[in-house]
Amino acid sequence: MENQKFYYDNKIVKLFILATLVWGVVGILVGILAAAQLAFPVFNFGLEYTTFGRVRPLHTNAIIFAFVGNAIFAGVYYSMQKLLKTRMFSDTLSKIHFWGWQTIIVLAAVTLLAGITTSKEYAELEWPIDIMITIIWVIFGWNMIGTLIVRRVQHIYAAIWWYLATFLGVAILHVVNSFELPISLFKSYSIYAGAQDAVVQWWYGHNAVAFFLTTPFLGLMYYYLPKAANRPIYSYKLSIIHFWSLIFLYMWAGPHHLLYQALPEWAQALGVTFSIMLIAPSWGGMINGLLTLRGAWDKVRDSAALKFLVVGVTAYGMSTFEGPMMSLKTVNQITHFTDWTIAHVHIAGMGWNGGLVFGMLYWLVPKLFKSKLFSEKLANIHFWMSTLAILLYAIPLYWAAVTQWLMWQEYTPEGFLAYPNFLETLTQIVPMYMVRVVAGFLFLGGFLIMVFNLAKTMKAGSFINNEASEAPALVLAGKRNPVTETVHRWMERKAVRFSILTFVALAIGGAVEIIPMIFIKSNVPTLESVTPYTPLELEGRDIYVAEGCYVCHSQMVRPFRWETDRYGEYSKIGEFVYDYPFQWGSRRTGPDLARAGVIGGPMYKNAAWHYNHFMDPQKMNEESIMPNYAWLAVKNVDVTMTPKKIRAMQTLGVPYEEGYDQKAVADLMAQAQTISDDLKASGIELAPEKQMIALIAYLHKLGRDIMSENAAVTEEHGETAEQQQAHEITLLDTPEDLEAGKKLYQANCVVCHGPEGKGIPPAFPSLVDDEWIKGNKPADVYHSIAEGNVAKGMIPYKNMLSEKQITQLASYVLITLHEQNQEK
């Protein structure tokens, strides 16, 4: 057969390599800055643009999508052309892909630092950028599938299966997780609320790890490892088994990010079991990689590229064992909300992704530039610096995680939390954070040595933009011969069918979890007492989102005694139905805030405290590492947006009354005024329109609704019934008792309910009309006095008054006050 001449497009590969190097340096530098901020809060610089809440998302996005992303594209564009014996399908698509992706990265950096964010981890970018990502991603896929169609090779090699799964997986994840309702160019609301949003987000978050950081890298491993070692792939059968099992199982495992949280048990169980089942498919990749080196280990000793690939594959094996272990509920209570997860992802990120990228570059750059690596010795130095940096990063953070977890749940012999002040548990681990900064510099140092080494290599070599090659045209083989060809082998030459089957395998897991969460009501039980946010609270919530508070503060109390003692009642699914997006967080660098609004609860702080704390946290607690947020006392809430926000919430299903958008601003100002007045009483002048007022209003809303719900639930479920039975309240109607009741009333109740019991509606209810919030039977009134209604400001009196006194008081209210009122 006659050979066809064609040219490989090497230029696009070179561009992606250069971008990888540039963004790698940027991403690591931002990471070091973030690490430094946790060790020394002065590095927040007192500027809104450089606080940890904004820098950390920039670091994660820069590393994942800029550094790793560009490296994937470089590796894919080079290997696809070689494996399919053809130039990429379209140079124009390649160019749009490259420049489009770089534009997205720059826009991401600018918007994240400006506080424009959706707050969904690794999907923080706002809707216009989401649309750009979708377009560019489709262009990448179009180019890929186009290249498959014009290929000159009969069968599609394993590496390309993984590339296909990457394209399809990320496309599904990105589109489903990015459904949002825009209200302006820079602001949108997730269309999912609370627990539903959490399921979608962590289905995405977990599988971003799978389909951006794992599957493309397995593809790269299947090409670059056998190439660099010049060894055959160990087992073709293993390739098939671990490919299909991995891509199918991965999509189910997302809920392991939400264990012991406000999520239905069945969803959590799917997260646990599918994570465990992922061990073998993941290890299949590691084994096939390591066994491919069988008989070539002497080469590993001499080649830095192979060393990096080996450490990368080994780190992959470690992480994919550690991950499933962290998905066991008992282990997860230690690893979740602590630095364990941070250490885990850095083993995978620096070891697996870093190792594979470095190994690939050390092999690929000399190849592209037709020269030898400038210095194998420098590459070896890079290897050792990099490996040491991973250990120096991970070990202190594992240590920190265990330390902090032990401190969180330690009790004194008397039964009180040994470290009731959260800050103590953080101060203990700050030295570990300092070590992490050193690890960051070590990793950066190695990286810079690589940049130098590769630059020298490029300079010494000669680069050909279009590399000539030739191969015979592809004559498609006909029907499958059942005797000589297995079904899978037949599939491998049917690119489109292969893609469709991959898509189906990917779609099942997400569909089974997300669709019931959204459409089956019983998964999100309603809590009657949960009310929508007031306009001021809603504005405050948006500030909470924009400042990235969720990066350090969770809003999720798990059902552990050591959490409920520290924070308050554990979180319920129904609490979050108006949360667009959810704000559960994933790491507690600061304390949980889910109960920050529960008056009388352990987390409540008054407005004056919040003001002082935002202005200068270190003044309140010298060892605090929270940045200051002084600009919140300068910047105003943009109330012109408020009606739009209310309408958006109505569209999403929040039950504001019809036409409420027109009243919203007036309500907002009225509520803001009360907080401003409250601050004034403490000698603090803060105008009602300031952002800090809105944020305080939001913090005071957190957990408030659930507290009244608990009171109601308790009544239904018998505690009250028990008490009623125990006491069988009989009113004491002797003049002496009523006189004693009067005295008690005047001492304790007059301030809120007035001398005649008329109250100060609406805040303090009348005791003499016909409306009773908690009932007017003697037992009801007794209970209201004894247990109080903390959420509404009614103190429980059972520790202050004896049972007899409470009965006297109830008698006075129900007999004397009632009669007095009848007379009038």
Taking the least distance from each CB to other proteins, the nearer of 211 and 222 is: 222
Taking the least distance from each CB to other proteins, the nearer of 678 and 689 is: 678
Residue 467's beta-bridge partner residues? 8
Of the candidates 568, 574, 570, 569, the residue with the CA atom closest to the CA atom of residue 558: 570
Taking the least distance from each CB to other proteins, the nearer of 608 and 815 is: 608
| Residue 650: CB minimum distance to other proteins, A | 33
Spatial separation of the C-alpha atoms in residues 167 and 178, rounded to whole Å: 16
Calculate the CA dihedral of residues 313, 231, 157, 99 and round it to 10 degrees.
60
Calculate the CA dihedral of residues 181, 184, 185, 190 and round it to 10 degrees.
-20
Spatial separation of the C-alpha atoms in residues 546 and 629, rounded to whole Å: 12
| Residue 233: CB minimum distance to other proteins, A | 4
| Half-sphere exposure in the Cβ direction for 197 (13 Å, CA) | 26
Distances (CA, A) of 464 to 13, 343, 362, 369: 11, 41, 18, 8
Spatial separation of the C-alpha atoms in residues 570 and 559, rounded to whole Å: 5
What is the distance in angstroms between the CA of the first residue and the CA of the last residue of the chain? Answer: 112
Question: How many Cβ atoms from other residues are within 10 Å of residue 724's Cβ?
Answer: 18
Taking the least distance from each CB to other proteins, the nearer of 655 and 755 is: 755
Taking the least distance from each CB to other proteins, the nearer of 31 and 219 is: 219
| Residue 622: CB minimum distance to other proteins, A | 13
| Residue 234: CB minimum distance to other proteins, A | 6
Taking the least distance from each CB to other proteins, the nearer of 398 and 604 is: 604
| Residue 604: CB minimum distance to other proteins, A | 5
Q: Which amino acid is at 773?
A: I
| Residue 253: CB minimum distance to other proteins, A | 11
Question: How many Cβ atoms from other residues are within 10 Å of residue 389's Cβ?
Answer: 23
Calculate the CA dihedral of residues 110, 49, 346, 385 and round it to 10 degrees.
90
Q: Which two tokens stand for residue 265?
A: 């048990």
Q: Which two tokens stand for residue 141?
A: 């896929």
| Residue 354: CB minimum distance to other proteins, A | 24
Q: Which amino acid is at 255?
A: P
For residue 581, whether the previous peptide bond is cis, meaning omega lies within 30 degrees of 0, is yes
Taking the least distance from each CB to other proteins, the nearer of 600 and 655 is: 600
| Residue 777: CB minimum distance to other proteins, A | 23
| Residue 333: CB minimum distance to other proteins, A | 11
| Residue 82: CB minimum distance to other proteins, A | 4
Taking the least distance from each CB to other proteins, the nearer of 665 and 795 is: 795
Distances (CA, A) of 19 to 101, 112, 605, 669: 10, 20, 47, 49
Distances (CA, A) of 595 to 544, 551, 563, 576, 705: 15, 17, 11, 13, 10
Taking the least distance from each CB to other proteins, the nearer of 330 and 640 is: 330
Spatial separation of the C-alpha atoms in residues 697 and 67, rounded to whole Å: 40
| Residue 124: CB minimum distance to other proteins, A | 30
Spatial separation of the C-alpha atoms in residues 434 and 40, rounded to whole Å: 8
Q: Which residues contact 372 (CB under 8 A, 6 or more apart)?
A: 366, 457
| Residue 126: CB minimum distance to other proteins, A | 35
To which residue do tokens 């805040």 refer?
A: 763
To which residue do tokens 């649309």 refer?
A: 131
Taking the least distance from each CB to other proteins, the nearer of 178 and 292 is: 292
| Residue 570: CB minimum distance to other proteins, A | 7
**Measured on CA atoms in the order 339, 583, 328, 706, is the torsion positive or negative?**
positive
Taking the least distance from each CB to other proteins, the nearer of 532 and 796 is: 796
Taking the least distance from each CB to other proteins, the nearer of 249 and 394 is: 249
Report angle CA 61, 67, 71 to the nearest 5 degrees: 135
Taking the least distance from each CB to other proteins, the nearer of 209 and 293 is: 293
Distances (CA, A) of 78 to 187, 233, 412: 38, 19, 61
| Residue 362: CB minimum distance to other proteins, A | 19
Residue 4's beta-bridge partner residues? 471
Taking the least distance from each CB to other proteins, the nearer of 96 and 620 is: 620
Q: Is 672:688 a contact under the CB 8 Å cutoff?
A: yes
